């Protein structure tokens, strides 16, 4: 289970075909739009890697998660914290 303080970046295609990246965290809410899925994914990964800890999820139009990955900084990994959640 993801901690509520972990920012979540969701990538989803809107009804008009534009891709959006929605960032929700304890102190920030932001949204960005991109004409392609590649641009949206690249932005989401860059933001995730800039944060200390973050989860990125790709959603279908119905809200179903098709892919999710949790990013953690190298500092957290060096302390022995796992980068993947157990199944």
Kind of pairing between the strands at 65-72 and 19-24:
unpaired
- Kindly tell me the sign of the dihedral angle through the C-alpha atoms of 13, 53, 25, 65: positive
Mind listing the pLDDT tens digit for each residue in 12-23?
999 999 999 999
Q: Tokens representing 79? A: 């302390």
Widest CA span in the chain: 44
pTM of the model: 0.73
Q: Check residue 17 and give its pLDDT.
A: 92
Q: Check residue 5 and give its pLDDT.
A: 77
Mind listing the pLDDT tens digit for each residue in 43-56?
999 998 888 889 99
* Alpha-carbon separation of residue 1 from 4, 5, 81 (angstroms): 9, 12, 15
Mind listing the pLDDT tens digit for each residue in 29-85?
999 999 999 999 999 999 988 888 899 999 987 888 998 989 887 655 554 545 444
Q: Which residues contact 75 (CB under 8 A, 6 or more apart)?
A: 52
């Amino acid at each position: 289970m993801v901690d509520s303080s972990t920012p979540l970046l969701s990538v989803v295609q809107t009804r008009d075909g534009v891709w959006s990246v929605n960032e929700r965290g304890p102190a920030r809410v932001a949204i960005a739009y991109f004409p392609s899925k590649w641009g949206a994914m690249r932005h989401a990964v860059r933001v995730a890697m800039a944060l200390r800890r973050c989860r990125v999820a790709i959603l279908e139009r119905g809200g179903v998660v098709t892919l999710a990955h949790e990013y953690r900084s190298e500092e957290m990994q060096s302390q022995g914290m796992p980068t993947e959640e157990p199944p």
